[in-house]
Chains A and B, each alone.
Chain A
Amino acid sequence: MIVGVGGQGTLLASRIIGNALIEQGYDVKMSEVHGMAQRGGSVVTYVKYGEKVHSPIIEKAGADIILAFEELEAARWISFLKKDGILIMNTQQINPMPVITGSASYPERLTESLEDMVANCISLDALSLAKKAGTVKAVNVVLIGVMAKASGQDSGIWLEALERTVPERFLEMNRKAFDLGYTAV
């Protein structure tokens, strides 16, 4: 599952992952969010693979990996992670409008409590790494790098998927972002 805030580039991340899984011969289904929810709302993209996939949506306690682009969103969707699943989270905080208007406050110490709760939790400041790669927009590819490492698979599969999905002119920057993620943990 890929969770985050509309506009953070979750769609591209799911497409890179889906692409890599198809190359490995799996049946793949992905469910995306378009339209109004994309405008800065809480967004979730599901990527399911296996021999035969029916529903494109992941159930509670059904995700092997959650890739969270934002701290609050990691907490919001954590009940979808399997007990032995991996949470990979960007510690970046983006204030939702109720926090901005003062009608709610951004919860404190979310990263710490998720780290305490989830057995396999990898948290990192992916935003800084993305900046290092050259653009704040590369948070998605940094996180894919982290996931590639955490899933124990050869990085080549993911880099090939990246090449197939990302336009040529952004490729170098994205390769760098992937490497920064891959070597971060």
Chain B
Amino acid sequence: MKKLMLGNEAVARGVYEAGATVASSYPGTPSTEITENIAKYDEIYSEWAPNEKVALEVAAGAAIAGARSFSAMKHVGLNVAADPLFTMSYIGANGGLVIAVADDPGMHSSQNEQDSRHYARASKTLMLEPSDSQEAKDFTIKAFDLSEEYDTPVIVRLSTRISHSQSLVELGDRREVELKEYTCNPAKNVMMPAMGRKRHIIVEERINKLKKFADEGPFNEMELKDKSIGIISSGIAYQYAKEVFPDASFLKIGIAYPLPDKMILDFANHVHKIIVIEELDPIIEEHCRALGLQVTGKNKLPLCGEYSADLLGQKLLGTEKGTYSVNDEILPVRPPVMCAGCPHRGFFTAANRLKLIVTGDIGCYTLGALPPLNALDTCICMGAGFTAAHGFDKARGNEFSKKVIGVMGDSTFTHSGITGLVDIVYNKGISTVVVLDNSITGMTGHQNNPVNGFTIKGEPTRQVDIEKLAYAIGFERVRIVDPFDVDGTVKVLREETKAEEPSLIISQRPCALLKSVKYEGCTSVDYDKCRRCMMCMKIGCPAISDRDGRITIDETLCVGCGLCTNVCKFGAMTLKEDCRIEY
């Protein structure tokens, strides 16, 4: 039976069919749907871990214990999980250990554009790279087999257009796989210098065997047609190249690391000219050059951004396509915005009143950096919202620190905010830091997390209590505010930033998109009372516009959260309940 599946869904199906029994991940676009789909299979134990390092360690432990185990993450998540990855390369597997990592060329939803293939080489780990959903499933299944056969973790590398494209997949049955026997083996599983030195030799031997495997296929395929142009490509870039050069000869790379030296040299002997087409870094290209080949690559094609058939046509063939056109300059851009009803809007409105410096973090609230709120000063990585504030404190002193707050969301807090709290207390900082607790992992599309009290399958579980945790760490000032009570939030922010000791504020209001959140009606404007002071425009709500000289509410967008009625000083904005009567 064939089914249309997202690349991510297909990876999940592969994990299922391969007989895996343990999966632990942290959500991150574009990888999230892999584990969301795994959670639908009851045969696999699945969980959201607090971060990618924890997730990979859980999968590593499960693999050593004998289970086929899996972890998925986005490219920057692999930075967090790099520590266990490098050592698991030495330990190897027992039950197969497979890691899916999804890169984001074009940065649709990421803070950088790093190329995860570097990690495979750096950690000496086998990496497979599928080019559509069918391969995403097939390669994932094969990854488990190879992991056990070569005693290595295996990375399956995806990118946004593989993860978030749907194509047809032939479904297979699940293979039931027995747990591998577990025996205590410190020489293999306890990485201390004496053991590590011996394992390193084995890792180098393993890479040589894998090079041989790569040369023999079947993941790398040579397709000889017109021999005047030979294209070496992998992943989604291969699909674009096939569209632009349907008659060319191809060497399709399915093993991103180690690359097949013999096959590349053999291919070069068959064709007159080689073009290497790969998104992001010139990894295959530099490998070809190291083999002594002359190739076209990044001299014609960009290092930044994602590719397309259009771009390849333009850069390599000089083809320009066009039919209809509208003068782009008259079209305003449409950046993403915080949704109508978003609790973060209330918090940033309060922070802006005090003109605070805000060190931010990764999540929906990062959108607070955009106009008109312009509320964030920094965004580095998950966890840095708190620690960067401490850095400001130590760089510029306590008086300056009273104008600085650090913010992050509830999921980000359990991901990597807790160690920041420890650092602030331990090192005598006075920072005020804020958890923007909206009861969900928002930006990645609503995943449960340790703070909201539900598991990946929606089952109730113990909740991490942020307040008690902060007290236990040593914070003596912990306050809870409702961000839609803007005046109250301003008051608490003023008191806590003044204090000569560290404070934690928990800004609590659930995400407006949660089904459990029910706002009634929508805002209406009393034009007799409106003085056009524009306070309501400063909150940056997508439902409020200034049209034809009047403040106008878009009733299709307004959820009736009431934040604007709180910021209007003239009582011109009120909630009416019957605004949707026409539907």
Interface, chain A (partner B; CB < 8 A): 5-7, 15, 18-19, 22, 27-42, 53-57, 59-62, 72-73, 75-76, 78-79, 81-83, 92, 94-107, 110, 113-114, 117-118, 127, 131, 134-136
Contact = CB atoms under 8 A, between A and B. Distances in A.
Interface string B233-253: 000100110110000000000
Contacts, number: 199
Contacts of A99: 332, 545
Q: Is the interface of B mostly helix, strand, loop or mixed?
A: loop
Contact of A134 (B161, B323, B547, B583): B583
B546 A56 contact: no
A78 B326 contact: yes
A38 to B, nearest CB: 7
Contacts of A27: 167-168
B309 A57 contact: yes
B542 interface: yes
Interface stretch (B29-37, B172-180, B282-290): B29-37
Contacts of A59: 243, 308-310, 313, 321
Contact of B239 (A6, A42, A54): A54
Contacts of B546: 100, 102
Closest 9 CB pairs of A and B: A35-B109, A35-B29, A41-B336, A104-B332, A96-B334, A36-B109, A56-B165, A42-B334, A40-B337
B4 interface: yes
Nearest to A128: B582
B239 A101 contact: no
B295 interface: no
A136 B310 CA distance: 35
Contact of A101 (B109, B339, B443, B540): B540
Nearest to B547: A95
A94 B331 CA distance: 13
Contact of A35 (B4, B326, B331, B445): B445
Contact of B337 (A39, A57, A61, A118): A39
B556 A41 contact: no
A10 B445 CA distance: 16
B579 to A, nearest CB: 12
B240 A55 contact: yes
B85 to A, nearest CB: 24
Contacts of A34: 29-30, 32-33, 108-109, 164, 445
B516 interface: no
Given A29-B166, A41-B336, A95-B542, A79 B325 contact: yes
Interface stretch (B137-145, B365-373, B391-399): B365-373
Contacts of B458: none
B239 A78 contact: no
B330 interface: yes
Given A32-B166, A33-B164, 6 more contacts: A7-B339, A59-B243, A60-B321, A95-B542, A95-B554, A98-B333
B44 interface: no
B6 interface: yes
B34 to A, nearest CB: 12
B231 to A, nearest CB: 13
Contacts of A102: 537, 546
A32 B109 contact: no
Contact of A61 (B33, B239, B322): B322
A57 B308 contact: yes
A71 to B, nearest CB: 11
Given A37-B108, A75-B331, A102-B546, A32 B326 contact: no
Interface in B532-583: 537, 540, 542, 544-547, 554, 556-557, 582-583
Contact of B336 (A36, A54, A100, A104): A36
